[in-house]
Structure 1
């Protein structure tokens, strides 16, 4: 099987970096808003599950659903790791950061209703979508 042309791989990598910011990944059992230091975005591949779906890629615990796109916003619930979830839209919010870890991510995904979860926001730091499908996920304000 041949590899995609370098141009396509570079475009996908740039799209992933633009969405993911500088870092990526996960949470502790106590609270999904405080990721474990050994979580590493580079160890996870993008998941091609559709244009409006994403996979929670925390290393060992659920990801908190926030009321607003802000890691200090009230927690409404959580989504288990490795769960594939339907997304409604994306939004730029406060930058999600991990203590003692370089990087961060200011993008958040709003959960689409009707999945058994409260409709809130997940940090894009720990949700993988296929970078080729980013254009199919609308901005929450448009």
Structure 2
């Protein structure tokens, strides 16, 4: 399996500027197609999380960085998990994108705590928590 291709979101993570934001764009069609049922988000999201952990660990080894900037599978999966609680509409897809990026960049409590997990889990878990918080915020406000 090409772990680099997966970790970088088909090389979108190689963009020079804002690779996380560009990578998150791959989560939009994923959420639009499969985010309409909570159980489908889990059925697809959990295996994607595990694949993301493996691919992030691979990239950590070859780059020797704790959280390589080119790894965007975490943003893709994290954004997708926002739709565990909300349905994908044009409005929620856009709002979730903005809220998720803000939470992912600022990493307010408790998101930042999850970066401390070992290996690929530290790369992936903070974004999944940011996605879940995004969904919760939108669920409460919409």
Query: How would you bin the TM-score normalised by the shorter chain?
Result: under 0.3
Higher fraction of helix: 2
TM-score (norm 2): 0.25
Higher fraction of strand: 1
